[in-house]
Amino acid sequence: MQILFRNLLRRKTSFKQDVVCRAYSSCKFLDIGQPTPATHPQLLKDGEITPSITSEEYISRRKRLLELLPEKSLAIIAAAPQKMMTDVVPYTYRQDADYLYLTGCQQPGGVAVLGHESGLCMFMPEQTTHDIVWQGKSAGTDAALKTFKAEQSYPISKLHEILPNMIKGSSRLFHNMLTAIPTYTELEAFQKAASIGKVKDLSNITHELRWVKSPAELKLMRESASIACQALLQTMLHSKMHPYEGMLSAKVEYECKMRGAQRMAFNPVVGGGPNASVIHYARNDQKIRDGDLVLMDVGCELHGYVSDLSRTWSPCGSLSSVQEELYDLILQTNKDCIKLCRPGTSIRKIHNNSVEMLLKGLEEIGILKDDRIKYYNQLNPTSIGHYLGMDVHDSSMISYDRPLKPGVVITIEPGIYIPSSFDGPERYQGIGIRIEDEVLITKTGYEVLTGSMPKEVKHIESLLNNYSFGMSTESQSNMTAASS
C-alpha cells in the first residue's frame, strides 16, 4: 500500500507549495530536520545547537582539533551512513560520534571538512521534493551556515569540484575511517595523497578531545546515568511479578524513553540463570527460573551521551548462600576498585587490582584449580572497565595505561561468568554476576554517577520484598517506588 501511494504522489507536480510548508509542526519556525531552540524550546535554550551544548562549545571543539592537527593539514569527517532494515525501511539513524561532536548535525548525508584556512566547510545533502514529502525537511547548506556555524557550505554534488583543490593545498590528510565513503575516497586527489602516505586516521585526535568531558558534557552524562538508574530500579521492581528476560528488556527501554532518552546505548543484556554467564547475551527470550539470578547490563543515550550500568539480583527476592558468596566477592571488588579511582591512576592499574582481588577470592571459595590464571581467564575474560562518553566504548584509541584525568568517565565492572559446562564444583555452575558503575574522575578522586542504584544485597532484597508482593497495577507500582 505504501508503494502504491508513493507512486501516486510522484505524479503530482502541483504539490510544491504544500511541500514548502511540510515542516515539523508549522510554518512559523524553520525546520532543519532536527530540534532547534525555535522548534523545540522544551529541549534547547537559545544559543544551543544540541541540548546543553552551545554553538561556542562546538566552535571551541573545532579550534582545539585544529590546534592538534599539523600545520596545513585537512580533516575530512563524513556523517554515519543510513542503514536500511529492508527496501525503504531505515533503521533508526544514529550519527557518528566524531561528526556529531564537531558539527552538532544529527543527520545523514553530509561531509565536513576542517582546515586551518577553510575553517569548517560542510558539504550537505540536497533534498528533492519527493524526499521532503516522504522524510520531511533536513538540514542543507543554509542550516550548515546559520545553525552549525560552518564558515563555508556547498551541496554535496559540488564536492568533487571543490574538495580536490583543498586536498592539493594541504600537506596531510586526516579522515574518519569509520565513516569513509567513496564520495571522497575515490577522488583522484585523495587516492594520490593516500598512495604517498599522506592520509592518516583522525580518530587518534578526536578521541583525545572527547576523552576529557566539558562541564556541559558532564551534565548530560549525569542525566543519562540518572535516567538509566531510575529505569533499572523500576525494572528491578517489575522483575518479581514478571520474571521474563524479554519483558525486563522492554520495561527498561520504556522507562528510559519515558524519561527523555532517545534510544538505548546498546541492546540491553538481560541474562537469567546460566544466560548471565554469556557476557554480551542478547537473545533475552527466556523465562527466569525461580531462585535464579538475573544480570542486567543497560544504558541509554541522552542527546548524544550514553550511560552504562549493570546489576545482578534474584527476582524472587532472596539470594542462595552460594549466590551470595560470589555476589559479595564481586561487590567488594566493585567497591575497592571505585575507591582507587583518582587522577594519575589508569584503567590498567585498576584492572590489575581487580584481577588480584578476584583471584584471591575465587581461590578462597575453592573455584580455581592448579592452573589458576588459566581458569580465572575463562571465568572472567573482561577488562575492569572502559571509557564512557558519546560511545559506549568511548575514545577507544586512548590506551588503558593512560593516567586518568579529572573529567574522564570510566566504568568499573567486575564480574564472574561461570558457564553450566564449567569443570568445577557443581553448585557454582551456570552463575553470572556483574556489578557495574560509572565513575567520573574528579580533581580530588571520584564521583559515582550511578550511585543512586542500590547494589547491597540487603538493600535490593528489601526493595523487592517490601514492595512488589501482591502488587498488580502500574499505578500502585509507581506510588510505592516514589516513596521507597
Q: Which is nearer to Mn ion, 308 or 391 (CB)?
A: 308
Looking at beta carbons only, is 52 or 411 nearer to Mn ion? Answer: 411
Q: Which stretch binds Mn ion (CB under 5 A): 80-88, 220-228, 336-344, 406-414?
A: 406-414
Q: CA 480, CA 484: separation in Å to the nearest integer?
A: 6
Q: Which residue has the cell 552504562?
A: 308
Residue 455 CB, nearest approach to Mn ion (Å): 15
Residues 6 or more apart whose Cβ sits within 8 Å of residue 103: 58, 77, 110, 112, 120, 122, 148, 150
Q: Which of 411, 437, 453, 467 is the binder for Mn ion (CB under 5 A)? A: 411
- Helix/strand/coil (H/E/C) assignment for every residue in 54-68: EHHHHHHHHHHHHHH
Residue partners of 284: CB distance under 8 A and separation at least 6: 245, 246, 248, 249, 267, 268, 269, 270
End-to-end CA distance of the chain: 50
Nearest to Mn ion of 105, 298 (CB atom): 298
Smallest gap from residue 311 Cβ to Mn ion (A): 12
Least separation, in Å, of the C-beta of 255 and Mn ion?
19
Nearest distance from C-beta of residue 54 to Mn ion, angstroms: 29
Region label for 76, one of left (φ > 0), alpha (ψ between -120 and 50) or beta (otherwise): beta
Nearer to Mn ion, 6 or 280 (CB): 280
57 or 394, CB closer to Mn ion? 394
94-113 positions binding Mn ion, by CB under 5 A: none
253 binds Mn ion (CB under 5 A): no
Least Å from the CB of residue 411 to Mn ion? 4
Footprint on residues 423-482 left by Mn ion (CB under 5 A) = none
Closer to Mn ion at the Cβ: 50 or 411? 411
Q: How far apart are CA 295 and CA 274, in angstroms?
A: 10
- Least distance from C-beta 299 to Mn ion, angstroms? 8
- Does position 223 interact with Mn ion (CB under 5 A)? The reply is no
Report, in Å, the least distance between residue 295 CB and Mn ion.
12
Asked whether the beta carbons of 294 and 315 are under 8 A apart, the reply is yes
| Cα 128 to Cα 305: distance, rounded to the nearest angstrom | 32
- For Mn ion, the closer of residues 253 and 308 by Cβ is 308
Do residues 396 and 374 touch, judged by C-beta distance below 8 A? no
CB atoms within 10 A of CB 374: 10
- Helix, coil or strand: residue 91: coil
Using the minimum distance from each CB to Mn ion, give the nearer residue, 201 or 447: 447
For residue 55, the one-letter residue type is S
Residue 434 C-beta: closest distance to Mn ion, Å: 9
Span near Mn ion by CB under 5 A; candidates 106-114, 305-313, 415-423, 449-457? 305-313
Q: With CB under 5 A as the contact rule, which of the stretches 2-10, 187-195, 272-280, 301-309 interacts with Mn ion?
A: 301-309
**Window contacting Mn ion (CB under 5 A); options: 134-142, 162-170, 208-216, 302-310:** 302-310
To Mn ion, the closest distance from the beta carbon of 386 in angstroms equals: 6
Q: Is 199 helix (H, G, I), strand (E, B) or coil?
A: strand
Cα dihedral 66→70→73→76 (10° resolution): -50
Closer to Mn ion by Cβ: residue 147 or 411: 411
What is the C-alpha separation between 167 and 223, in angstroms, rounded?
A: 41
Measured from the CB atom, the residue of 119 and 451 that comes closer to Mn ion is 451
Q: CB 331 → Mn ion: shortest distance, Å?
A: 17
* Stretch binding Mn ion (CB under 5 A), from 140-148, 162-170, 207-215, 303-311: 303-311
| Residue 308 engages Mn ion in binding (rule: CB under 5 A) | yes
Grid coordinates representing 201 are 586516521
Question: Dihedrals φ, ψ of 425, to 5°?
Answer: -50, 130
Give 251-299 as a 3 state SS string. HHHHHHHHCCCCEECCCCEEEEHHHHHCCCCCCCCCECCCCCCEEEEEC
Size of the site for Mn ion (CB under 5 A): 2
- Give least dist CB 115 to Mn ion, A: 36
Nearer to Mn ion, 292 or 308 (CB): 308
DSSP one-letter code for 429: T
Residues that bind Mn ion (CB under 5 A): 308, 411
